[in-house]
Amino acid sequence: MKKVSSTFKITASAMVLALLVVGGWPLYRHRASSMEVVCGPGVTEILMLSDFLPDLRNTAADTPVFVLSGTEPGGSALIIGNTHANEPEGLLAAALIVENAVVKKGTLYVIPCFNRSASLNTRPGEGYPVYFSVETPWGKKKFRMGNRDASPLDQWPDPDVYIHFPEKQMLSYLDIRNTNRTWPGRHNGMPMEQVTFAAMELLRNHKVDLAIDLHGAETMFPVTNCIVAPEKSMRIATLAALTVKAVEGFESHVESSPEKFRGLSHREIGDYSDTLPFLLEAPIPFLDQPTGPKSEQLFLDGRDEFLLSLSRRKKLFVSYDESGWPLERRVGQHLSVSLEIIKQYSRRHPGRAIIVENVPRYSEVVEKGIGYYFQNPATAKKEKVITF
Amino acid sequence: MLFRTLLIAAIIIVFYSLAKWQKLSVELSLLAATIGGALAGSIFSSPPPAEIPRHLVEGSFTYLDVILVFFTATLFITIIQKSGGVDFAVRRTVVRFYRARFLALFLLMVIVLIPGALTGAGSVSLLVVGTPVALALKGLGVEEEKIPAILFILAGLAAAAPPVNIWAMVLCAGTAIPYVGFELPLGLPVIILGTLTVVILGRRKGADEIDSFLEKITPHPGMNWLRLLLPFLVFFGLVLAYRVYPFNFPVLGLPLEFLIASLVALVLSPVRLNLIKVASETVSKLLPLLAIMVIVGMLQQILSASGVKGLISYSVLIIPLGLLFCLLPVIIPVSEGVLTYGGAAIIGIPLVWYLNSLGYHATIVISGLSLLWPLGDGLPPTALIGRLSVMVSGYQGKYWQFLKETWVPWLIITATGMLMIIFSAKLKFLVTG
């Protein structure tokens, strides 16, 4: 074997060290960064998820729960964003609700960043940007791009196979850090099982009527652009889907929640509480495998030539043209479908009605942009700005 | 976009070729290709130049868990080896079974299948039992170049075997299909193909060499079955304990399970061993393999950030179905050779969705694909399992010579996998649960 000189070894080691520092710094900054939400006029209380399971207190998994209570009693709904932190349409939709919604009747619970640990994680091997920004009238508002799974810095090691509680179904080892596979959770389980358990406690203790989990899915994934619902939520999901199509002109079909696939919010929330669960999927081209560079621009506008070509060959599960599938459409869909689910439920259960006002709907978000609805944290009252 | 992505892909290939031409190692050549791809991509701001260091560092962590498993598993088996356990096991096994040759081969196959089936990693099979099984095969008179070939095929089948098949799990996670019902579609072909492999490759070479073989194997007199088996029992006990009591037993993870078993082996060893020395020898032995894992992660990150990964996926999806079936036996193993488990995500997930939409049965398709992916673990640039097979068997010949020996089982496995995919709808009766 060729002998390597000490000078070469020292030089190579110094270069690797320099690369680690220069390349590692942005990753460190990402984990140390915060996102901001300005409490809107409807926020009446701010809880933490750890209020429902104290073990989560002072951990990276703890996250704010915004409560928007109406002046009249009624039903209640939970809206969850960032279950998968690489599908941040849910985070944006939930944040818009917190900053704008006014609840007249009933109560809304909103968790914009459900898997906070995943939002502090990045996705090695996938080449994602670590942040994205949306234009607002007062400048750019920056958000963390996270990962599908919680950070190994917060939950590690993984088992060689993940066994779901309580059904004992075997799932991929990575899914033990995926908060859409750990429902209904365990109080003494792994941190992500504790996160879903705490959410179940919220649902059970506060007798929440509806739970809406906001996601994004690939355009090549059959379960995309849809509402996933178990049998008990099916009627309301169908009515909401039909209404948004007829009134607002966009498609969001209904998919049945499979009984044999465990750990998902749309399955376990329904099975382990009285709450009606719904999981909304908006098409997010950024997540598709056959795309060009994984850039911030692709995330924002959802435009990609490879996907366009595949669409012409009828290999996508959504309609797709040169306009792509911009973030405004994805967030707008989530807002409209969520509001419609709440409305349909309220019609059928007047005693448990929830009346929410001042939340922009699909056409408004598409026309004015998402940023139009965000308040400027710099000019807002300090106590109104919540970071996570 | 197509032109610029093709240009970046071409520059990656040029950098790799130039590095190889300069006789750099596979690891350094891949690093050169990665840096070339990053620089070429930065011309089009994909990734932006300032982001390159972050992408390289982030990508290098892609396989951190796998690296830890490789290190701790190799440390474990090195301790067993240095304590005389391997020599002891081989001598006893060969003496006991060499007259019942088929039974001996079948049992050795099962021994190789178990660790990989439990952990989903063929590497674990090789690292834990590869060396003793290689010696046992030698004792049974199997040709030298056929020993790593047997180990390579069996380790691949072990990784594909239920209950844990990582390709299937990655595909199920990505396609939202429950990881259930894979016992028969994966278990049956693995047992049949494994048996065929040991029968075909395990034929006796000329005269019986048992006596001369046994003369070479002189285990330490202090070694016995208890000292040998207890560390293995501890390891498998820890793996099984989580399966049996998943909600009461702590999640230890494979690296810690191997470390605990290593400590048990160290305490029970009749030979006094210096843990630091053994650990540093293990790192030296594994360095090329660990370097490959780090650099492949970086390469994947750059391929994704530059759009080349998307181009690969897109290219597979636009192939007409008939041609796709003809090309899958090449595409799938090559994707594994380049991207390891990344191939399952990049090509597998859209492929399963596409075939599923045409009426093919997803569980059987995933099972069929799962038989093809392990074959790619013998192909460069990574050749993870191939290189490990050579390493644990002590084979001194050329790499391609050993790989050539696998051609008959390779073809049979390919044919089986492809038939499962093509006739998946007719085979759905195998799916239970």
Instruction: Note the pLDDT tens digit of each residue in B43-75.
Output: 999 999 999 999 999 999 988 887 888 788 888
What residues of B are in contact with residue A223 (Cβ under 8 Å)? 176
8 Å CB contact of B251 and A190: yes
Cβ distance B164 to A170 less than 8 Å, yes or no, reads yes
pLDDT for position A2? 60
pLDDT of amino acid B312: 87
Domain hosting residue B247, numbered range = 47-430
Query: Strand ranges (DSSP E) for A164-297?
Result: 170-171, 210-217, 226-229, 253-256, 276-283
* In a shared domain, residues B42 and B52: no
Which residues from chain B sit within 8 angstroms of residue A293, using beta carbons? 41, 44, 46-47, 304-307, 310
- Cα gap B32→B265, rounded to integer Å: 41
Report the range of poorest mean pLDDT among A72-86, A218-232, B119-133, B226-240: B119-133
The average pLDDT across B373-396 equals 91
Residues B112, B8 share a domain: no
Residue B349: which pLDDT band, with cuts at 50, 70 and 90? confident
Residues of B in contact with A313 (CB under 8 A): 318
Q: What are the φ and ψ backbone dihedral angles of A162, each rounded to 5 degrees?
A: -95, 125
B58 and chain A in contact, CB less than 8 A:
yes
Q: Which of A15, A123, A170, A312 has the highest number of chain B CBs within 10 A, making it the mutation to test binding with B?
A: A170
Q: For residue B208, what pLDDT is reported?
A: 60
Q: What is the average per-residue pLDDT within A58-82?
A: 98
Residue B238 has pLDDT above 60, yes or no: yes
- Kindly state whether B358 is in contact with chain A, defined as any CB-CB distance less than 8 angstroms: no
Which whole-number Å values give the CA distances from A142 to A97, A135, B401, in the listed order?
18, 9, 55
pLDDT in tens, A357-378: 999 999 999 999 999 999 999 9
- What average pLDDT does range A161-172 have in this prediction? 91
B65 and B41 belong to one structural domain: no
- Tens of pLDDT, residue by residue over B121-167, are 898 889 888 988 998 898 888 998 999 999 999 999 999 998 778 88
**What percent of chain A lies above the pLDDT cut of 90?**
94
Alpha-carbon gap, residue A272 to A266, rounded angstroms: 11
Question: Which two three-digit tokens encode residue A315?
Answer: 């290999």
* Mean pLDDT value of segment B246-266: 94
Start-to-end CA distance of chain A, whole Å, equals 53
Weakest-pLDDT range from A100-114, A136-150, B231-245 = B231-245
Task: Fill in the DSSP letter of residue A179.
Answer: T
- CB A366, CB A329: distance < 8 Å: yes
Banded pLDDT at B206 (limits 50, 70, 90): low
Clarify whether residues B76 and B11 are in a common domain: no
**Are residues B95 and B3 both part of a single domain?**
no
Chain B hits for A291, Cβ within 8 Å? 307, 310
Q: Are residues B196 and B108 in the same domain?
A: yes
Per-residue pLDDT at B381: 80
Q: What are the distances in angstroms from CA B95 to CA B202, B224, B285?
A: 17, 15, 31
Question: Does the pLDDT of residue A160 top 90, yes or no?
Answer: no
Task: Tell me which chain B residues have a C-beta less than 8 angstroms from the C-beta of A126.
Answer: 300-301, 304
Residue B93 has pLDDT above 80, yes or no: no
Name the residue with tokens 């796998």: B66
Output B339 or A236, whichever has higher pLDDT: A236
DSSP letters of A324-376?
---HHHHHHHHHHHHHHHHHHHHHH-GGG--EEES---HHHHHHH-SGGG---
Instruction: State whether B36 and B89 are in the same domain.
Output: no
**Residue A46 contacts residue A386 (beta carbons within 8 Å):** yes
What percent of chain B clears pLDDT 90, i.e. is strictly above it? 55
Exposure letters A316-344 (e unless 16+ CB within 10 A, then b): bbbebeeebbbbbbbbbbbbbbbbbbbbb
Mean pLDDT, rounded, for A24-48: 98
* B219 and B166 in a common domain: yes
Q: Give A99 to chain B, closest Cα distance, Å.
A: 33
Residues 7-36 of A with CB under 8 A from B: 19-20, 22-24, 26-27
Q: Which domains does chain A have, with CATH numbers?
A: 33-387 (3.40.630.10)
- Tell me, yes or no, if B3 comes closer than 8 A to chain A by beta carbon: no
Distance CA A156, CA A25 (A): 22
CB contact under 8 A, B54 and A130: yes
Helices B384-393 and B131-139 meet at what angle, rounded to 10?
Answer: 60
Residue B341 has pLDDT above 80, yes or no: no
Task: Tell whether the torsion through CA atoms of B31, B36, B39 and B42 is positive or negative.
Answer: negative
Chain A residues whose beta carbon lies within 8 Å of the beta carbon of residue B302: 127
Specify the pLDDT at position A295.
97
pLDDT band, residue B101 (cuts 50/70/90) = confident
Contact B318 A288 (CB under 8 A): no
pLDDT at position A1: 53
* CB neighbour list of residue B320: distance below 8 Å, 6 or more residues apart: none
| CB-CB contact of A43 with A104 (8 Å) | no
pTM of the model as a whole: 0.90
As a whole number, mean pLDDT of residues A105-127 equals 96
A223 with B176: Cβ contact below 8 A:
yes
Neighbours of B250 (CB within 10 A): 12
Range with the poorest average pLDDT among A54-58, A141-145, B251-255, B292-296: B292-296
Q: With an 8 Å Cβ cutoff, are A172 and B170 in contact?
A: yes
Query: Do the chains contact at A160 and B120, CB–CB below 8 Å?
Result: yes
- The CB density around residue B276, as the number of other CB atoms within 10 Å, is 8
Helices (H) and strands (E) in chain A, counts: 10, 15
**Token pair recorded at residue B366:** 């995933």
State whether residue B261 sits within 8 Å of chain A by CB.
Answer: no
**Is the model's pLDDT at A293 over the cut of 70?**
yes
Average pLDDT, chain A: 96
Q: How many angstroms separate the CA of residue A123 from the nearest CA in chain B?
A: 8
**Residues 105-164, chain B, touching A (beta carbon < 8 A):** 118-120, 163-164
B43 touches A at CB < 8 Å: no
Q: Give the span between the Cα atoms of B3 and A164, in whole angstroms.
A: 46
Judge residue B296's burial from the number of C-beta atoms within 10 Å of its C-beta, 0-12 exposed, 13-18 middle, 19 or more buried.
buried
Check if B172 contacts A (Cβ < 8 Å): yes
| Distance from C-alpha of A259 to C-alpha of B180, rounded to nearest angstrom | 12
How far apart are the CA of B50 and the nearest CA of chain A, in angstroms? 9
Verify that B229 and B162 share a domain, yes or no: yes
How far apart CA A242 and CA B273 sit, in angstroms, is 72
Please check whether residues B258 and B360 belong to one and the same domain. Answer: yes
Asked if A124 lies within 8 A of B61 by C-beta distance, the reply is yes
User: Do B133 and B178 touch, CB atoms closer than 8 A?
Assistant: no
Alpha carbon B33 to its chain centroid, in Å, reads 24
Q: Does B345 touch chain A (CB under 8 A)?
A: yes
Check B302 against A127: CB less than 8 A apart. yes
| Yes or no, beta carbons of A19 and B53 under 8 Å apart | yes
CA–chain centroid gap for A290, Å, is: 23
pLDDT of the residue at B433 = 59
Residue B234 has pLDDT above 60, yes or no: yes
Same domain, B285 and B380: yes
For residue B349 the two structure tokens come to: 């997930």
Window 180-199 of B, Cβ < 8 Å to A: 180
Q: Inter-chain contact A160–B254, Cβ cutoff 8 Å?
A: yes
- Report the pLDDT value the prediction gives residue B207, as an integer from 0 to 100: 62
Q: How far is B208 from chain A (nearest CA, A)?
A: 37
Same domain, residue pair B29 and B90 = no
Using CA coordinates, name the residue in chain B closest to A305: B1
The whole-number pLDDT of residue B209 equals 65
Highest mean predicted confidence (pLDDT) among A77-91, B241-255, B374-388? A77-91
Whether pLDDT at A301 is above 90: yes
Confidence band for A309, pLDDT divided at 50, 70 and 90:
very high
Please give the pLDDT value at position B358. Answer: 87
Structural domain count of chain B: 2
